[in-house]
Amino acid sequence: MASNTPAFINFLFLYSLILPLISTQNISPPIKTLVLPIAKHPSTLQYITNLYQRTPLVPINLVINLGGPFLWVSCDNSSYNSSSYRSANCKSPICSLTHKFLNIKPQCNDNICMIRAENVITSKISSGNLSIDVLSLRATDGLNPTNLASIPRFVFWCAPEFLLQGLPSEATGIVGLGHSQLSLPTQLANQFNFTRKFAICLSPSMNSNGVIFIGEEPYVLFPGIDVSKILIYTPLAITSKNVGEFSDPHEYWINVRYIRINGRHVPFNSSYTKIKTKISTINPYTILESSVYNSVTNYFIQEAIAANNTRVNEVAPFRVCFSTTTDQVGSITRPAMPFVDLMMQSELVFWRIFETNLMVPVNKNTACLGFLDGGINQKYGIIVGGYQLEDNFVQFDIEKSRLGFTSSLLLKETSCDSFNFTTTSV
């Protein structure tokens, strides 16, 4: 893992150099889509993006939280310098609307609007200034990056430095992509007058980047595949109320009717008429409520052994592991593994998860099923984690309350690292 860190840092550095070189002149036609890179951090397995903030513009690296209500950065120290920075005062409309938008009651300190927020990685909570500053990122025509687009009054939360604990050292905060009125997708949609939707495509590689599209289609990956045309849709549930101040009302979740393994219907506890399923970039692996986990792993083991796979001792944090053989060039060989289907609203709508997103290599001779037991009190029956999302394309259409998804893009002879960030079309 450690040997990959320089490549990860180099990617972020190169991206920060490329962005200012792109034209900042007015765009015609109007901006309808923006684009961000995603890098997978080698040690924390968190997903990080890079954009620009402040005057003059400074590159910042932020951990991605799909269900986060807003963007926050550490800015209570001397390293944050910006001529365009403003703290929201207590009587400002944005301070008054924060309670309505986030169901978080703001406080007042020296006429500065203060709100409490959480680092979802460590669950630490703190108060900080509700703030306003310039935010910039790249527009796209769906094929390539185009111009630099800016929001002059982007609302974010100024966090104390200690809240960075638990994040990669390269990160200065967390960017929330949830469906609140202060999330990054919503503020961009309001600024540029496009539909509230975005799509993520996580790359499994530590050396190349995935992509986030915010706004309208097309979403084109090499060699010219518009992934928006191959999406399958299922209703996207949107929670509108908090259950406790730091619950997750801005998360995205779907209903899974049942699960199939190699086409076999997996029976569950009779209390599950449908399985509430959250999509998460914070959790590196999929987490199942205990009864779901036990049923799924039992059936998976049966199918894997029937295909002549050999079960071996567990390797933490995984419990279900199998032997593998690694050849001289590093290729892993073993009998075929089962596939898993998350069945949605009909027999024709399902999210198929193949071996590449199921089996996690832990050493040269062992690979483990990348599902974890979340215990009996887990709020969601399933939390789909980052590993299972990699090289799958997922669109969150907030306006239409629907989730668009593909199975592995490798079947389409493309991948999440196939968007060209270096070539512009202007």
The pTM for the full model equals 0.90
Strand partners, 360: 368
Give the model confidence (pLDDT) of 356-368 as tens digits: 999 999 998 999 9
Q: Give the C-alpha separation, 61 to 19, whole Å.
A: 14
Q: Give the C-alpha separation, 203 to 192, whole Å.
A: 28
Please check whether residue 296 is in contact with residue 340, taking contact to mean a CB–CB distance below 8 angstroms. Answer: yes
Least confident of 282-296, 324-338, 361-375: 324-338
Three-class SS state of 279: strand
How many angstroms from the chain centroid is the CA of residue 347?
27
Mean pLDDT of the chain: 90
Three-class SS state of 314: coil
- Tell me the mean pLDDT in the region 340-345: 98
Confidence of residue 333 (pLDDT cuts 50, 70, 90): confident
Please check whether residue 283 is in contact with residue 370, taking contact to mean a CB–CB distance below 8 angstroms. Answer: no
Q: What pLDDT, on a 0 to 100 scale, did the predictor assign at position 104?
A: 76
Give the model confidence (pLDDT) of 225-250 as tens digits: 999 999 999 999 876 554 444 456 78
**Residue linked to tokens 């990122």:** 137
- Tell me the mean pLDDT in the region 49-53: 98
Q: Which among 41, 413, 399 has a CA at the least distance from the CA of 204?
A: 41
Please check whether residue 388 is in contact with residue 283, taking contact to mean a CB–CB distance below 8 angstroms. Answer: no
CA atoms within 13 A on the CB side of 120: 24
Least confident of 78-82, 300-304, 317-321: 78-82
Helix (H) or strand (E) run with residue 13 in it = helix 5-18
Q: Give the C-alpha separation, 76 to 92, whole Å.
A: 21
Give the model confidence (pLDDT) of 168-183 as tens digits: 999 999 999 999 999 9
Confidence of residue 7 (pLDDT cuts 50, 70, 90): low
What is the identity of the amino acid at 146? T
Model confidence at 4: pLDDT above 50 = no
Strand partners, 254: 277
Three-class SS state of 340: strand
Helix (H) or strand (E) run with residue 305 in it = helix 290-306
Q: Give the C-alpha separation, 99 to 182, whole Å.
A: 11
| Token pair listed for 298 | 């039992």
Please check whether residue 121 is in contact with residue 166, taking contact to mean a CB–CB distance below 8 angstroms. Answer: yes
